[in-house]
Amino acid sequence: MEEVKNGTKSGQIFDKKLSRREMLRLTGASGLGLLLGGGGVSGILAASGAVHPAAPAPQASSEDIIPFYGSHQAGILTPAQNFLCFASFDLTTSSIADVKKLLQSWTTAAAALTSGTLIGNANENPNLPPSDTGEADGLTPSKCTITFGVGPSLFDGRYGLASKRPSTFADLPAFAGDSLDPQWCGGDLCVQACADDLQVAFHAIRNLARIARGTAVLRWTQEGFQRTGGADPKGGTPRNLLGFKDGTGNPDVTDAAEMREVVWCGSESPAWMNGGTYMAVRRVRLRIEVWDRSSLSDQEATFGRHRKSGAPIGATDEFAKLNLDAADPAGKPVIPPDSHSALAHGDGTVKMLRRSYSFSSGMDLTTGQLDAGLLFISFQKDLVKQFVSIQKRLAKNDRLNEYMVHTGSAVFACLPGVREGGYLGEALLG
């Protein structure tokens, strides 16, 4: 049998000339990298001019559009849409001017993407590559929100920003039981795109990555989902892949005073973060096969809640307050002290806003088990006092640890909202 090397038979050289299409296919015609490639700030923008909205898509109702501009970024207090595409980026430039240009371009593109219009002005020119990839052309905005953040590594000295780094803004400490994989950790920049249509959310990440080419590259991505509005017209609390409701204990996002207390940064933070918030992201692999062999009583004791109703054990209302002092006739706590709900709640004084999505990334070819779980996302004004303090309790004693492992970790400072005519990070980079 003749040996095959590099697509040719050993000792034989094909002199057939490759077409441009074949060359593109052979140099990367597979995977997310190709779908997110092409163009960039130095390519697309040079060819199509500054990024700005083009012809609008078919008429969308006001309910389908969540404005991009505002005092705070959308996608934080916004009720969670059906789908998520999350992307972390590494900057490849050494120039702060390039970073500023990228965030300016992203700002204009995001305003177009969330309003349902194509980006760029070269979408009808047959002699140029289209400036918008086009897969969302004709679709409504589907309540698309795009939320941007910067990682601690942005302040490492490359761009002269070290003096602007908040004193407690750093990568999360190691927690007991972590099994972090570097391919799911960190990043200089992040983009959280959410929408009620997965193709719309993917389209946003694809085009922003395309614009970034030459300035930033993808570090890691994760898609997520929850039940759709059509499947649950009543809009109940979503369930995670273990079958339990997730997010019951969230603070009230309609209470402006509570949001200032829990989520939004104010005068205690650097001026460039006033109106922003800090995001914690954890990729949590669930041991679904082990969980599925557990009895219902064990599952409920693990969460401290009834599976069907979501109510605390011993109660019937999902939103009933946790009574951690309640005991059965034998004096045993009704809600186990090491249950997930009890430990996450603590004394009730420390809160954070959770906005997580389930994920399924196929099968782990090593174990033959599902690679599925939860992309945990939380927003808080102080990572150390809120997220870290709660996670330390959970990592140490949570019954749920038997059924999960944290494989990814990142934190980002989600920038304040953008006024029309301004750009993301203007107070930081301007």
What's the pLDDT tens digit per position in 211-257?
Answer: 999 999 999 999 999 999 899 999 999 999 999 999 999 999 999 99
Which burial class, exposed, middle or buried, applies to 137 when counting CB atoms under 10 A from its CB (0-12, 13-18, 19+)?
middle
User: Global pTM?
Assistant: 0.86
CA nearest to 143, candidates 56, 79, 205: 79
Q: What is the pLDDT of residue 34?
A: 39
Q: What is the pLDDT of residue 62?
A: 75
Tens of pLDDT, residues 111-153:
999 999 999 999 999 999 999 999 999 999 999 999 999 999 9
CA nearest to 24, candidates 8, 38, 7: 38
Tokens 């909202």 — which residue? 417
pLDDT band at 304 (very low <50, low <70, confident <90, very high): very high
* pLDDT above 90 (res 58): no
* pLDDT above 70 (res 36): no
pLDDT band at 43 (very low <50, low <70, confident <90, very high): very low
* pLDDT above 70 (res 268): yes
Mean pLDDT of 19-35: 39
Mean pLDDT of 32-37: 44
Q: What is the pLDDT of residue 63?
A: 82
Mean pLDDT of 370-383: 98
Distances (CA, A) of 342 to 28, 162, 319, 345, 399: 49, 39, 14, 5, 10
Q: Is-contact 392 357, C-beta < 8 A?
A: no
Distances (CA, A) of 36 to 30, 192, 202, 210, 393: 11, 15, 10, 6, 39
- 13 DSSP assignment: -
Distances (CA, A) of 25 to 21, 22, 105, 211, 341: 6, 5, 29, 21, 50
Express as a percent the part of the chain with pLDDT over 70.
Answer: 86
Q: What is the pLDDT of residue 179?
A: 97
Q: What's the mean per-residue pLDDT of the chain?
A: 89
Cβ atoms within 10 Å of 257's Cβ, excluding its own: 8
CA nearest to 137, candidates 191, 74, 77, 206: 206
C-alpha span between 245 and 232 (Å, rounded): 13
- For residue 132 the two structure tokens come to 């918008």
Tokens 């006001």 — which residue? 62
* pLDDT above 80 (res 28): no
The conformational region for residue 339 under phi > 0 = left, psi -120 to 50 = alpha, else beta, is beta
Mean pLDDT of 6-23: 38
| 3 state DSSP class of 132 | coil
Q: What is the pLDDT of residue 50?
A: 43
